Amino acid sequence: MLESYKKDFEIVPTLYPAQKTFYYRNRMDFAVFPGPIVGQREAGSFRHIVDLETCLIQSKESNEELYRFRNLISKFPNLPYDRKSDSGFLKYFTLRKAKNTSELMTILTFVEEFKNTIEEKEFENVCLKSLKADHILFCFNRRKGEISATGEIKILKGMDSYKELVCGKEFRVPFDSFFQPNPEGFQPILDFIEKEIPDSFDHLVDLFCGSGFFSRIFAHKFLKITGIDSIESSLEIARKQMSLDFPKIDSSYLKVDLFSKHSSSKLKVLFSSSDKDVLIADPPRAGLGEFVLDALKDSKVSYFFYVSCNPTSQKSDLWKLKDFFQIQKILITDPYPQTPHLESVAFLKRKNFTT
C-alpha cells in the first residue's frame, strides 16, 4: 500500500499503530443458530458459525451481557432461526457499548412473524429479568434477510439510542446507525483534520454524516454546515444536537441517498456554491460511489478530507480524482487491531485552487 501510493501519487502515507489491542470495539453482531450457537461467521464461510463464549475485542461489560444471553437462550432451544429448515425466530444478538459513558444497548433481531405472538411476550419477560443492558430492543425484519439491528423495533427497556461522548460532545447513537467502532482509536484521525482545516473557510459539507459526527466536532470552525445522509433517524439527532450545541450556526441536514442517481443534481448544486467550502466524507467500505465522484470532478470544493475504513477503495477513488485534486497528506491508522481493517484520512486540495 505504501509503495503504491508513492508510485501512483508521489506521496508516502504516515502510519499510526494501535495503542490498545483488546476490549476496544463498541459494537458486535453475533449470529444465532440452532444448538444454540451464538457467534461469528467463519472467514470465507457464510453458513459456518464459530460459537463464542467471549470476545476479546468487545468491552468486558458486553462480554458479561453475552454470558447472560447465552444462559438465557439455552432455555429456549426452539427459538434460534434455522436457515436450512426455515423454522425458529431469533437471527442475531447485537451489543453496543459506549466507550466514554456507561451505557450498554442489547438488540435482538427476529423474523417478523415472531412479533405479537405468545412466544414473544414470554421471551420478553425473561429478557427483562435476565439481561442488564440500559437499553433492550427487539427488532423485526424479513425472514430471509441476513441483516442485524435493522427493521421495526420494540423497546423493552430504555431508549432506541444510547449516549456517547467524543471530544467532550454528547452523541445520541440510534440503534440502527453507524458510529465509529473505536472512538479512542479514531482520535488520531480527528486530530489530523483539526490541524489541517483552514481558519478562513465558512462552510463545512459533511457527506455520509450519520448523526453529525464530524460536523459537530468541527462546528466551532464554521458559520454554515450542511450534512447529508440517507438515515432519517440519524439526521433527526444531528439536527437536534446541532441546534442545542451551536444555535448561531446555519445548519441543515438533508436526507439524500448518495448512491442514487437522483443525488447528482443536488450534489452539483451544493458543490458549486463556493470555492470556500470544506468537504469531509466518510463513506461505507465500498467508497464514494459514482455520483459523488462525478459531482466532485465538476465542483468548486477546494479542501477535501476523505475518511475511509477501506484504504483500498479509497485509493481507487483517489485515482479517479487525480486530475482534479492533489493529495497533500495521508494518515493510515489501526483502530481495529486483531482484524484486517484499517482507517485512513486523505487531505486533498483542488488543483486549480489558490489561497
Structural domains of the chain sorted by starting position, each given as residue range(s) with its CATH number in brackets: 1-20+182-350 (3.40.50.150), 27-174 (2.40.50.1070)
Q: What is the C-alpha separation between 213 and 164, in angstroms, rounded?
A: 11
Q: In the structure, what pLDDT confidence band is assigned to residue 354 with cuts at 50, 70 and 90?
A: low
- Does the pLDDT of residue 307 top 80, yes or no? yes
Cβ proximity of 139 and 107 under 8 Å: yes
Q: What is the pLDDT of residue 30?
A: 98
Show Cβ contacts of residue 191 under 8 Å, excluding neighbours closer than 6 positions: none
- Does the pLDDT of residue 253 top 80, yes or no? yes
First vs last C-alpha separation in the chain: 31
- Where is the binding site, in residues? 180, 208, 229, 282
Q: What is the C-alpha separation between 206 and 212, in angstroms, rounded?
A: 8
pLDDT one-digit tens code per residue, 155-180: 999 999 999 999 988 888 989 988 88
Torsion sign, CA atoms 170, 175, 179, 180: positive
Cβ proximity of 14 and 332 under 8 Å: yes
- Where is the binding site for S-adenosyl-L-methionine, in residues? 180, 208, 229, 282
Q: What is the pLDDT of residue 34?
A: 96
Show Cβ contacts of residue 188 under 8 Å, excluding neighbours closer than 6 positions: 16, 331, 333
Catalytic residues: 309
- pLDDT greater at residue 135 or residue 8: 135
Nearest to 88 by CA among 143, 147, 156, 150: 143
pLDDT one-digit tens code per residue, 91-100: 999 999 999 9
Q: What is the pLDDT of residue 100?
A: 95
Pairing of the two strands 203-207 and 224-229: parallel
pLDDT one-digit tens code per residue, 188-244: 999 999 999 998 899 999 999 998 999 999 999 999 999 999 999 889 989 999 999
Please state whether 96 falls in left (phi above 0), alpha (psi between -120 and 50) or beta: beta
From 2-6, 33-37, 75-79, 299-303, the region with the lowest mean pLDDT: 2-6
Average pLDDT, the chain: 94
249-263: average pLDDT: 95
114-126: average pLDDT: 97
In angstroms, the Cα distances linking 105 to 9, 150, 302 are 43, 14, 40
Q: What is the C-alpha separation between 207 and 347, in angstroms, rounded?
A: 15
Q: In the structure, what pLDDT confidence band is assigned to residue 318 with cuts at 50, 70 and 90?
A: very high
281-301: average pLDDT: 94
Q: What is the pLDDT of residue 182?
A: 94
Helices (H), the chain: 2-9, 60-73, 118-130, 183-196, 213-217, 232-245, 263-271, 290-297, 311-320
Count of other CB atoms within 10 angstroms of residue 64: 13
Q: What is the C-alpha separation between 159 and 105, in angstroms, rounded?
A: 9
From 23-27, 258-262, 350-354, the region with the lowest mean pLDDT: 350-354
Cβ proximity of 212 and 238 under 8 Å: yes
Q: What is the C-alpha separation between 148 and 182, in angstroms, rounded?
A: 19
Percent of the chain scoring above 90 in pLDDT: 82
CA-based angle 55:109:151, to the nearest 5? 130
Half-sphere exposure of 112 (CA within 13 A, CB side): 10
Q: In the structure, what pLDDT confidence band is assigned to residue 47 with cuts at 50, 70 and 90?
A: confident
Cβ proximity of 135 and 103 under 8 Å: yes
Phi/psi at 78 (5° precision): -95, 0
- Does the pLDDT of residue 355 top 60, yes or no? no
Question: Cell 446541532 belongs to which residue?
Answer: 242
272-277: average pLDDT: 79
Count of other CB atoms within 10 angstroms of residue 353: 14
